[in-house]
Amino acid sequence: MTQDPETKSIARRLFMTNAIDSLLSTVGVVMGTSASQVSDPKVYIGAALGGALSLGLLSGFLGVYLTERTEKIKELREIEKAMMADLQKSIYAKTISSSALYVAFWSLMGSLAIPIIALIPFFVALIVKLPQGAEVAGSLSIAYSELFILGFISDRSLRSALLYLSLGLIATVLVKALSWLLI
């Protein structure tokens, strides 16, 4: 079913927001795990995917679906009140669930699919022995690249791309500073 422009806009914003949140979380997990001198790629994958799954499935998908559906039902009630008519059998009423599902799907994709890409070096390390630290460097490089691309996509400007990239770099510096204090 084709979605209206407002629904597509909401889905696009949630995809971007959740992709950025999950990528920054992945950078934090990778840096924090690295600072603890962990070398097992399974630990990195488990920690990062655990967060991405929680964020993606519970908040990104179910939370967004419930919120969007509730908001659309409120809108329907307001329209019914203004029109003094029952619109339960209207096209608008019938599209409420599919519209909420569409938005929730794209929210989930941002939360889950984007950070999984950043974890590819750890998956490779499960199969092939990599030089020490290569997985961490590779994962961070991919995450930074994804942030840069998302920033560029957001408004087609180098400035925005660099701002998004700077979020990843700041997260890296903050976690590194914290690790120096605690470890």
Identity (one letter) of the amino acid at 172? Answer: T
| pLDDT per residue rounded down to tens, the chain (183 residues) | 567 888 899 899 999 999 999 999 999 999 999 988 888 999 999 999 998 888 888 888 888 889 888 887 787 788 778 877 666 666 666 666 788 889 899 999 999 999 999 999 999 999 999 888 899 999 999 999 999 999 999 999 999 999 999 999 999 999 999 888 876
Identity (one letter) of the amino acid at 24? Answer: L
Task: Supply the DSSP symbol for 63.
Answer: I
C-alpha 104 chain-centroid distance:
12
Q: Could you tell me the residue range of the domain that residue 172 belongs to? A: 5-182
Kindly provide the b/e burial profile for residues 150-177, where b requires at least 16 CB atoms within 10 angstroms of the residue's own CB.
bbbebeeeeebbeebbebbeebbeebee
Total Cβ atoms within 10 A of residue 78: 10
Q: Angle 39-45-48 (CA atoms, 0-180°, nearest 5)?
A: 115
Number of domains in the chain: 1
